[in-house]
């Protein structure tokens, strides 16, 4: 593994449905004004993600009350992070097939991720492993404290498999 991570939360209730394990992957080039976590723009920020880190995440996901894993950043879908994040989500799927996976990304689904996923099979495979995607840059002028699971109103919560199959954003409408 070559990625770094800023933080792991083992009981996160803010970033997806239920009580979740969340992993903040370092490295982001979107440079959104007002970013909540600019230190994590550096790919070397935080700690190296090791086999022990992976084991810790798999263990933290084990209790029945933990609903799933959330990937945040930084930018978990940046080209430099994709293959390691894919390896992790595959291990999570294998060990915990009953848990769901959410991912936050600054990329826009139709404008950026869909066309790029036709060129980059790693990205395509990674998207196929994710259940729910919160997409789009953080836009300070559209920041709202009332948007559930989102930082700004332009961001959307998408069902990824349905969106990939349809070739357009299919909104997640809650659980
Ligand atoms: S995508 Fe997220 S981490 Fe990256 S600059 Fe924007 S708000 Fe910050």
Per residue in 53-64, pLDDT (tens digit) is 999 999 999 999
Mean pLDDT of 84-104: 98
**Ligand 1 atom closest to the CA of 31, numbered from 1:** 5
* 161-173 tens-digit pLDDT: 999 999 999 999 8
Q: How many angstroms separate the CA atoms of 120 and 110, rounded?
A: 15
pLDDT of residue 93: 98
Mean pLDDT of 100-116: 98
Beta bridge partners of 21: 69
Angle at 87 between CA 127 and CA 41, to 5 degrees: 75
Pick from 32, 41, 149, 151 the residue to mutate for probing ligand 1's pocket: most ligand atoms within 8 Å of its CB. Answer: 32
Pick from 26, 34, 35 the residue to mutate for probing ligand 1's pocket: most ligand atoms within 8 Å of its CB. Answer: 35
Pocket of ligand 1, beta carbon within 6 A: 28, 30-32, 35, 37, 40, 73-75, 106, 137-138
- Rounded to the nearest angstrom, the distance between the alpha carbon of 64 and the centre of ligand 1 is 31
Mind giving me the DSSP string for 113-154? IHHHHHH-HHHHHHHHH-SEEEES---GGGB-TTSTT-SBTT
DSSP 36: S
Q: Which of 35-39, 58-62, 68-72, 74-78 has the lowest mean pLDDT?
A: 35-39
Identify the three-state secondary structure at position 15.
coil
- Rounded to the nearest angstrom, the distance between the alpha carbon of 121 and the centre of ligand 1 is 24
pLDDT of residue 79: 98
User: Is residue 175's pLDDT more than 70?
Assistant: no
- What is 4-166's CATH number? 3.20.20.70
Mean pLDDT of 10-25: 98
User: Is residue 1's pLDDT more than 70?
Assistant: no
For the chain, what percent of residues have pLDDT higher than 70?
A: 99
> Which residues 6+ apart lie within 8 Å of 37 measured at CB?
6, 24, 73, 74
**Ligand 1 atom closest to the CA of 34, numbered from 1:** 7
* 124-158 tens-digit pLDDT: 999 999 999 999 999 999 998 888 999 999 999 99
Mean of pLDDT over the chain: 96
Domain ranges of the chain: 4-166
- Rounded to the nearest angstrom, the distance between the alpha carbon of 24 and the centre of ligand 1 is 11
Residue whose CA is at the smallest distance from ligand 1 atom 1: 106
Q: Taking the complete model, does pTM exceed 0.85, yes or no?
A: yes
């Amino acid at each position: 593994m070559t990625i770094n991570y800023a933080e792991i939360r083992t009981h996160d209730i803010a970033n997806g449905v239920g009580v979740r394990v969340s992993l903040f992957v370092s490295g982001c080039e979107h440079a959104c004004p007002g970013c909540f976590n600019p230190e994590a723009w550096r790919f070397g920020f935080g700690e190296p993600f090791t086999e022990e880190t992976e084991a810790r995440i798999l263990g933290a996901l084990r209790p029945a009350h933990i609903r799933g894993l959330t990937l945040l950043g930084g930018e978990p879908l940046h080209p430099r992070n994709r293959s390691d994040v894919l390896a992790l989500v595959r291990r999570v799927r294998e060990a915990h097939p009953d848990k769901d996976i959410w991912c936050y990304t600054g990329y826009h689904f139709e404008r950026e991720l869909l066309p790029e996923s036709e060129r980059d099979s790693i990205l395509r495979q990674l998207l196929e492993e994710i259940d729910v995607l919160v997409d789009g840059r953080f836009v300070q002028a559209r920041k709202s404290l009332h948007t559930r699971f989102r930082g700004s109103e332009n961001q959307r919560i998408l069902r990824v498999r349905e969106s990939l199959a349809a070739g357009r954003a299919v909104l997640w409408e809650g659980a």
